[in-house]
Amino acid sequence: MNARRLIVVSVLLFLFFLGIYTWNERTNKLDAISTNVGIEVVGFFVRSVVYVQTTISDFWNNYVSLVSVNEENEELKEELFQIKRELSFAKEEKAELDRLRKLLSIEYVSDWKTVGVRILAWRLGANDFFDSFVLSKGFFSGSKVGTPIINADGLVGRVLKAGPYTSIALLLTDSGSSVSVITEKGRVSGIVQGNGHNQYLSMRFVKQNEEVKIGELVITSGLDLSFPKGIPVGEVVSVELSANSMLDIKVKPLVVFDKLEEVLLLQNPFEHILPEGSPVYSPRPNNLFSPMQSPLLVRAEENENFEKAFDEQANKSANGAN
C-alpha cells in the first residue's frame, strides 16, 4: 500500500466511522446488533467457566471441607428461630396494615415479581467505563433495560443493556446512576446519585431547612416510576450545608457491592400501562464537579447582589425619610 492509497483509505475509514456513528445515534441499530452478539458470545463463555468453577467449589464445599459445619448448623438454627419469631410479628403487622389500607382506600402496588440472577462477571474489557456487572439472564427471562436489581440488603442498580440470555447492570454507585428517594423518618425527598466505586452516594436537591438526621435510612420513593416504593438504599452518614442553599448529604449504600454473587430482578407488573421511567444512565451536568460554575450558585450570587442593592435602596429611602 503506497502513501497516497493509505491516506485515501484513512479518510474513507474516518468518513465511514462518522456515517455509522451518526446513523447509530439516531437508530441504535448497531448497539442492538453488538449487544446481541457481543454479550451472548461472552455470556456463553463466562457461563461455562462459572459452571466449571461452581462444580469444583461445590465438590470441595460439600465433600471435602466439612470442618465446623455442626457449629455453623447450631448458629443457623438459633438464627432461624429468631427470624421465625420476627416473621410472626411481621405477619400480624402486615395484616393490620392491609386492613388499614383497605379502610383508607390506598392503592398499593406490591406485585413486583422477583427473579433470581447470578452475577457472571464484573467490568469486562477496555470499552466498559461504568460500575457494572454481567448478569446470567437476558430479555428472554425478564431482564429488560431499566429493570431494578436488589438483594437482601437493598437496592443494587438497574439493567443497562440486555441481550437474549445475558445482560449488563449499572450499579447504584456509578456516576450516571440516579434514584428518586425519601428518608424513612423525616419523609424528606431527594435524588440519590452515585460517585464511583467504593464512594458514598450523594443525596441532592434537599433544601437546607429540611430535617435529615445522621443514621436515618433512605428508601426509594417510587416517584420516578422506575423502582417500587420502599426499597432500602442507604444510611445517611453526613449532613452539611452546601454553597447553593441545599444540603450536602452523603449516604452509605446498604449493599456491599464487592461481595455480591446473586441478585434479584424486580419485574413491574404494570409496565405495559405505565409511562416510561427515567433513563438508566443520567448524564450529570459538568458543573457538578466544579461547584463554583454551578448555575444555582450564579443565581444565588445574583440574588445576593439584588438583596444588597435592595437593602441599600431601602436604607437610603429610610435615611431620606428621616
Partner 1 sequence: MKVLNVFWWLAYVCIAIFLQLFISGVDFFLPGIIVALQEKKITQFGVVFLLFVLIQEGIGTMPFGNVFLWYSLAIIFFYSWRWFFEIESFTFILLLSAALAVSHYFIISVLAEIQDIYINYKSLQDESVYQMFLTPIMWHTANYLRRGFRYVPQD
The residues of the shown chain that bind partner 1, judged by CB under 8 A, are 1, 3, 6, 9-10, 13-14, 17, 20-21, 24-25, 30-31, 33-42, 45-46, 49, 121-130, 132, 134, 160-161, 163, 168, 170, 175-176, 196, 281, 283-284
Q: Which is nearer to partner 1, 14 or 270 (CB)?
A: 14
Q: In this structure, are residues 164 and 187 in contact, taking their beta carbons and an 8 Å threshold?
A: no
Which is nearer to partner 1, 112 or 122 (by Cβ)?
A: 122
| Cβ contact 218:203 at 8 Å | yes
Nearest approach in angstroms of CB 274 to partner 1 is 26
Q: Which three cell numbers stand for residue 318?
A: 429610610
Least distance from partner 1 to the Cβ atom of residue 234, Å? 20
Q: Which is nearer to partner 1, 189 or 195 (CB)?
A: 195
Nearer to partner 1, 144 or 229 (CB): 144
Nearer to partner 1 among residue 125 and residue 275 (C-beta): 125
CB of residue 217 to partner 1, shortest distance in Å:
27
- SS3 of residue 197 by DSSP: coil
* Residue with smaller CB distance to partner 1, 42 or 218: 42
CB atoms < 10 A from the CB of 188, how many?
21
In Å, how far are 55, 81, 108, 155, 219 from 87, measured between CA atoms? 34, 10, 21, 22, 21
Q: How far apart are CA 247 and CA 269, in angstroms?
A: 35
Residue 261 CA neighbour count, 13 Å, CB half:
3
Q: In the complex, what is the shortest distance from the CB of residue 115 to partner 1, in angstroms, rounded to a whole number?
A: 22
Taking the complex as a whole, how short is the minimal distance between the CB of residue 268 and partner 1, in angstroms? Answer: 23
C-alpha to C-alpha distance for 228 and 217, rounded to whole angstroms: 16
Q: How far is the CB of 158 from partner 1 (least distance, A)?
A: 13
Burial of 226 (0-12, 13-18, 19+ CB in 10 A): buried
Q: How many residues in the chain?
A: 322
Rounded to 5 degrees, what are φ and ψ at 16?
-65, -45
User: Cβ 275 to partner 1, closest distance in Å?
Assistant: 23
Nearer to partner 1, 196 or 230 (CB): 196
- Pick between residue 145 and residue 217 the one whose CB is nearest to partner 1: 145
Q: What is the DSSP string of 29-92?
A: HHHHHHIIIIIHHHHHHHHHHHHHHHHHHHHIIIII--TTHHHHHHHHHHHHHHHHHHHHHHHH
Give 306's contacts (C-beta < 8 A, 6+ positions apart): none
Nearer to partner 1, 112 or 281 (CB): 281
208, 167 in Cβ contact below 8 A? no
Q: Least CB distance from residue 30 to partner 1, whole Å? A: 4
Burial 270-297 (b: 16+ CB within 10 A, else e): eeeeeeebbebeeeeeeeeeeeeebeeb
Distance of closest approach, residue 286 Cβ to partner 1, in angstroms: 9
